[in-house]
Amino acid sequence: MLQQPQNMPYSVSQVTPSIVLYEPSFEGWLSAVFYVYMHKLQHNFSLKLTSYDCYVPSLIDQAIRVPTEKDKAQRVLSKINTLIGRSGMRQLLWGFLSEKENIGTILFRVVKYAIDYPGRPIMEDLGHLEVLELAQTVKSVGREKHRMEAFVRFEHTTDDIYFARVAPDFNVLPLIGQHFRQRYQDQHWAIYDISRSYGIYYDKSKSTSSHPAQLQTITDLDDTVLRNPASIHSTDEQRYQQFWQGYFTIVNIKERKNLRLHKQYLPQRYWKYLSEKQGLPNAEHLQKRR
């Protein structure tokens, strides 16, 4: 059963909610934490914090929607930062970007642990179930971040923009943007997450010799580009892909082929975005010439 807060900004309904719903953003989650402590709901062990887009209505549980309020979110953020420091905040943010179904509740219980025991290095207490689960989640997100930085393949377009499509398991675009911003300051580039329908764009014309341009968020991308990226390939890109596919085929040694090990270091779910994995029409011909 879903209830709306009355007498804005907040009010407690006659029935104590067991689920607090927040907008799918980190500020939204922080606002939900503020609501919980404002109405002294933190001692309800069955309390869950859930994103709007993950909520499945129930006839048993009482749910209430909490709006995002930046001033309240900032107050919670400052409080958490004093308790667990910058490293702890990083773990909370990376955990949130995992988009796990129960991540809002896990993060809340970690924060509650920190508030209940100020001064204790709670992020090191892996005997605490939620702290342990968060640590494992952060490790998985970090692994995905590293792989995205390694396996992203840019394709040169007719608009002189280097474009890449990705579909990571976690929402890691906010984490990898700085890596590419520092590495490719001399060109226009964009990385688009097709699973989450948004991307990041770097416009080199807005950068200076001392300050790289800020990343921009893009959402309105032509579906044709996503379905058929080859339709916007420049002539150079087509030629470069043929060269690279040819090189990849020629250096291959069939006798040393170990597909199991290959998949371990380069998981198969990334192959569809790698030009060297798209097949080469004259691969057999090139192999014979070797």
- pLDDT per residue, tens digit, the chain (290 aa), is 555 554 444 444 456 789 999 999 999 999 999 999 999 999 999 999 999 988 888 778 889 999 999 999 999 999 999 999 999 999 999 999 999 999 999 999 999 999 999 989 999 999 999 999 999 999 999 999 999 999 898 999 999 999 999 999 999 999 999 999 999 999 999 999 999 999 999 999 998 877 888 999 999 888 888 888 888 899 999 888 888 888 888 888 888 888 888 888 888 888 877 887 775 444 444 344 43
Which of 244, 252, 251, 247 has its CA nearest to residue 275?
244
For the chain, the structural domain boundaries read 2-142, 152-233, 235-290
- The pTM of the full predicted model, rounded to 2 decimals, is 0.83
Residue 117's CB is within 10 A of a number of other CB atoms, namely: 13
Record the tokens describing residue 217, joined without a space. 């968020």
Rounded distance, CA 282 to CA 279, Å?
9
Alpha helices, H only, the chain: 26-38, 70-96, 103-116, 129-151, 173-183, 223-227, 235-250, 259-265, 283-289
